[in-house]
Structure 1
């Protein structure tokens, strides 16, 4: 498998699950299939190192993958204008 992300999934009023998974699995419907015993949960997916161990402070972190994507987009825009 290609586990390229981490998740911190918290059951309302219960336990928190932290593990690695594919980023494409980070959506409500897929997570509901993967964790059928949890009827109500919140989750946070991320792709930086050890990102699912820290408490969420409400401010999204800029991941290296996002930084590369932005840099590539800017470079492509510049290249097309030249």
Structure 2
């Protein structure tokens, strides 16, 4: 019984903080924060790779170049469980 009561108290305490909103961002902080999270030069090198979306064409090119294939495959919605 004590374990159940402890679990209920823990859930109530966790749930109590879940409904509180974060402090709004001050207008004078927006530009600083945007610059902080914006990707810098050189951080997006993966975009310069000539990715292929056709597996057969990628296989032919990889065979011709003597290189392996990186197959990125996922099931479901690309943004996760929405």
Q: TM-score range with shorter-chain normalisation?
A: under 0.3
The two structures have a TM-score, normalised by structure 1, of 0.21
Q: Which has the larger radius of gyration?
A: 2
